[in-house]
Amino acid sequence: MSKIPKNLLYTEEHEWILVEGNRGTIGITDHAQDALGDVVYVDLPKVGDKIVKGETFGTVESVKAASDIYAPVSGTVVEVNEALKDSPELINRSPYDEAWMIVVELDDESELDELLSPEDYENILEGE
């Protein structure tokens, strides 16, 4: 059973977001990294880039396949986890901690209402 921390919000496409004030830290879930297999490459936006809720903002590639990453919210990128460029395997090892991907300044906090609670996300995984 994959890990689903209680302090995060989730998307159906298996991203998570940790909200602190008007900032959100974004990554992909334990389930997502497990399904992908060994991650060997990550493409992320730059500081200052805009991301739009529901649209792709990056790519994760494993030895088996490439997968898009979707923005859980709209906002402006204020931090990028540069460590992932040289150590993409962190995504497999520590999806919720060391392998955070970007921090964004939220455009519209009401978008958070549309995200999945940990319980909702768990139900989705069980249905898969």
Catalog residues that contact other proteins under the rule CB under 8 A: 37-38, 40-41, 43, 59, 61, 63-64, 66, 85, 89, 92
Q: Give the nearest distance from C-beta 98 to other proteins in angstroms.
A: 17
Closer to other proteins by CB, 90 or 115: give it.
90
Long-range contacts of 52-61 (CB under 8 A, 24+ apart): 53/111, 57/102, 58/101, 58/102, 60/28, 60/32, 60/36, 60/88, 60/91
| Residue spans of alpha helices (H) in 53-115 | 83-86, 90-93
Closer to other proteins by CB, 32 or 73: give it.
32
Closer to other proteins by CB, 61 or 98: give it.
61
